[in-house]
Amino acid sequence: MKLIILDRDGVINQDSDDFIKSPEEWLPIPGSLEAIALLNKLGFTVSVATNQSGVARQLFTLDTLSKIHQKMHDTLQAVGGKIDSIFYCPHGPDDNCDCRKPKPGLLLQIAKHYQISLKGIMVVGDSFRDLVAAQSVDAKPLLVKTGKGERTLAKHAEELKEIVVFPDLLSLAKAL
């Protein structure tokens, strides 16, 4: 199985420091949907691992999160792409769960779901915690400059010197 794991906010859709709280606020990053369709054409199964602490913060409900994800699926389907699975952490930063990135819980759930090792599996993120989670399970972290990517690169330049960086998800997909 060729699997690639994507963060959601900042990789697939526009990010917001105020959270994506409704389907109307979910807006794809230009080229990201086409990138996922290309990944599918290249034989990749696409999974999403996303922190969604807005649920714990009571900014939106699980039902609203489901509607946001349905919009993502529908919008993606319109361009011939498909996300096979979405794994999310609904907990807040102080909940001390094992699924909130940078902890590896979401990635381990994905490994269990597909019954595979994550060694060498590409994990694409825009934040340092995405990359730390990937490294902790021996996956291959990749950084995109969209979302918080530029900030992440500036703040963690020394720690990221071994990490491959792409302008956006479409550039990454085309490089494969």
Catalytic residue ranges: 7, 9
C-alpha 149/C-alpha 159 separation (Å) is 14
- Contact of 122 with 129, CB cutoff 8 Å: no
C-beta neighbour count of 144 within 10 angstroms: 30
- Contact of 123 with 143, CB cutoff 8 Å: no
Q: CB neighbours of 65 closer than 8 A, spacing ≥ 6?
A: 52, 54, 55, 88, 90
CA quadruple 74, 75, 77, 82: dihedral, nearest 10 = -90
Triad 32, 8, 27: Cα angle to 5°:
55
- Contact of 10 with 127, CB cutoff 8 Å: yes
